[in-house]
Amino acid sequence: MIVIKLKIGALRGFSYAVLISGSILMLLPFLWMISTSFKTFAEALAMPPVWIPDQLIWSNFADGWAMAPFARFFINSVVIAIATAGGGVILSVLAAYAFAKMNFFGKNIIFMILIGTMMIPGIVLLVPNFLTIVRFGWIDTFQGLIIPWLASVFVIFLLRQFFMSIPNELWDSAQIDGCGRFQFLWRFIVPLSIPALSTAFLLRFIGSWNAFLWVLIMTNREEMRTVPVGLALFAQEAGIEYQLMMAMATLAIIPIMLLFLACQRQFIEGVARTGIK
Amino acid sequence: MIRNRKRYWLETGKAYLYLLPVLVILGVFTFYPMVRALHLSLHRWPLVEIPGRREREFVGIENYVNLLNHPRFLRSLRNVSLYALFSVPLSIFLAIGLAILLNQKLRGRALFRLAFFLPFVTPAVADALIWRWLLDYRFGLINYFLRYLGVDPVAWLTTPALAIPLLVILNSWQTVGFQGLILLAGLQGINSQYYEAAKIDGANAWQQFRRITMPLLTPQIFFLAIISAISAFELFTQVFVLWVGSPGPVASALTPVFYIFETAFRRHRMGLASAAAYILFAVIFVLTLIQFKVSQKRVHYDQ
Count CB pairs under 8 A between chains A and B: 275
In chain B, residues with a C-beta closer than 8 Å to the C-beta of A19 are: 101-102, 106, 112
Minimum CA–CA partner of B133 in chain A? A242
State the complex-level ipTM: 0.91
CB contact under 8 A, B29 and A105: no
Residue A275, pLDDT > 60, answer: no
Q: In chain B, what residues touch A86 (CB-CB under 8 Å)?
A: none
- Candidate from B32, B111, B122 with C-beta closest to A256: B122
Q: Which residues of B fall within a CB distance of 8 Å from A123? A: 234, 236, 256-257, 260, 277, 280
**pTM above threshold 0.90:** yes
Question: Given this model, what pLDDT does residue A276 score?
Answer: 44
Q: State residue B265's pLDDT score.
A: 95
User: Residue B68, SS3?
Assistant: helix
A172-209 burial code (b ≥16 CB/10 A, e <16): eebeeeebebeebbeeebeeebeebbebbbbbbbbbbb
User: For residue B102, what are the contacts with CB-CB under 8 A and spacing of at least 6?
Assistant: A19, B109, B112, B113, B180, B184
| Residues with pLDDT less than 50, chain B | none
Beta-carbon separation of B30 and A16 below 8 A: no
pLDDT band at A1, cuts 50/70/90?
low
Quick check: A271 and B178 CB within 8 A? yes
Give me the residue from A19, A124, A131 closest to B281, CB to CB: A124
pLDDT in tens, B130-149: 999 999 998 899 999 999 99
The pLDDT, as a whole number, for residue A55 is 84
Top residue of A30, A118, A124 to mutate, by most chain B CBs within 10 Å, is A124
State yes or no: pLDDT of A70 exceeds 70: yes
Domains contained in chain A, CATH given: 59-273 (1.10.3720.10)
Chain A residues with CB inside 8 Å of B115's CB?
22-23, 26-27
Does B173 sit within 8 Å of A26, measured CB to CB? yes
pLDDT level of residue A119 (50, 70, 90 thresholds):
confident
Q: What is the pLDDT of residue A277?
A: 37
- When pLDDT is averaged across residues A28-34 and rounded to a whole number, the result is 95
A144 vs A264: which has the higher pLDDT: A144
CATH architecture, domain B71-298: Orthogonal Bundle (1.10)
CB atoms within 10 A of CB B201: 9
- What confidence score (pLDDT) does residue B1 get? 62
Q: How far apart (Å, rounded) are the C-alpha atoms in residues B82 and B77?
A: 9
Q: Taking CA atoms, what residue in A is nearest to B186? A: A276
Dist. CA B87–CA B82, nearest whole Å = 8
- DSSP states along B249-274: GGGTT--HHHHHHHHHHTS-BHHHHH
Q: For the ranges A11-25, A39-53, B26-40, which has the lowest average pLDDT?
A: A39-53
**Alpha-carbon distance B52 to nearest alpha carbon in chain A (angstroms):** 22
